[in-house]
Amino acid sequence: MLPARERLIIALDVDTLKEAEILVSRLQDHVGVFKVGMQLFNSEGPEVVRRIHRLGGKVFLDLKLHDIPNTVGQAAAVLTRHRVFMYNVHIAGGAEMMKKAVEKTVKEAGEAGLPRPLVIGVTVLTSINREILNNEIGIKTGVEEQVVKWAKLARESGLNGVVASPMEIGAIREACGRDFVIVTPGVRPAWAAVNDQKRVMTPREAVEAGASYLVVGRPITGAADPVDAARRIVDEMEEGMKC
Ligand code: C5P
């Protein structure tokens, strides 16, 4: 099992390379992976990935690809060339799209002799509740049922794992097995503000429930002492791993 520190992903939700580099250099020895999402990537482009690598960090590129299979496949090859550790696609894009992403990732990594990124599927966003799922998106099931259905589809399509809310970890673990990667945001230590996250779990609870990686942003990046905050979260994760 990976040590707790390696399983902690920091959300670099900032606009500039400068802010990102400050966080990465401070936190690099204390966390496992840095998540670059649409805010930072759209602002600074692939240079941000190169800089994080130069500082010794691993990158989760959270761009949530969702398009026709050919387009997603071509993007997957590019992301593989960026040597990211992990990237994600929307499961709602369907099995053919996910298979294409995996196929192109494996091909590119093999031909260029690069490490193969983990390909992760986005299930139902945590901002979507049953009412929105049923009435706006038109999917007439409960959220957990849909998350599990999509997680299984992602696994069958060759993805390494999914992103899901802490509340769904147990059901996904049961349906998809021990080796399936579950990445979970919505994590809040008891001592941190909940912010706009609604259904949260503590780091210890999320690890106990079976999460592989935890994504944490503001409780660390907004703390007066981010290194201390990261250490405390890793300690809590270790407690969860003992159970
Ligand atoms: O600051 P905070 O810990 O809430 O950051 C959580 C990170 O995880 C953010 O980058 C957010 O976009 C991301 N995320 C999330 N819920 C999801 C998917 C991603 O909070 N369902």
Helix (H, G, I), strand (E, B) or coil at 100: helix
Ligand 1 atom 10: the closest Cα is on which residue? 11
The answer to pTM > 0.85 is yes
Rounded to a whole number of angstroms, the distance between the first and last alpha carbons of the chain is: 13
Rounded average pLDDT over 29-43:
98
Q: Is the beta carbon of 11 within 6 A of some atom in ligand 1?
A: yes
131-173: per-residue pLDDT in tens? 999 999 999 999 999 999 999 999 999 999 999 999 999 999 9
Asked if pLDDT for residue 18 goes beyond 90, the answer is yes
Long-range Cβ contact pairs of 219-226 (< 8 A, separation 24 or more) = 219/187, 219/188, 219/189, 219/192, 219/193, 220/10, 220/27, 220/31, 221/10, 221/11, 221/12, 221/13, 221/14, 221/23, 223/192, 226/23, 226/26, 226/27
Percent of the chain with pLDDT over 70: 100
Q: Does the CB atom of residue 223 touch ligand 1 within 6 A?
A: no
**187 near 212, Cβ under 8 Å?**
no
Which residues sit opposite 182 in a β-bridge?
Answer: 162
**Ligand 1 atom nearest 35 alpha carbon:** 10
Q: Is 115 helix (H, G, I), strand (E, B) or coil?
A: coil
Amino acid at 14: V
Residue 11 Cα: closest atom of ligand 1: 10
What gap in Å lies between CA 73 and CA 78, rounded to an integer? 9
How close is the Cα of 196 to the center of ligand 1, in Å? Answer: 10
Contact predicate 210/173, CB 8 Å:
yes
Q: Return d(Cα 14, Cα 43) in angstroms, integer.
A: 9
| From the candidate CATH numbers 3.40.50.620, 3.90.1640.10, 3.20.20.70, 3.30.300.90, the one assigned to the domain spanning 4-241 | 3.20.20.70
Q: Is the dihedral of CA 52, 183, 137, 157 positive or negative?
A: positive
Is 64 a residue of the active site? yes
- The answer, yes or no, to whether any atom of ligand 1 lies below 6 A from the CB of 203, is no
Average pLDDT over residues 36-57: 98
The tokens describing 91, both together, are 């499961």
State residue 126's pLDDT score. 86
Residue spans per domain, the chain: 4-241
CA of 215 to the centre of ligand 1 (A): 7
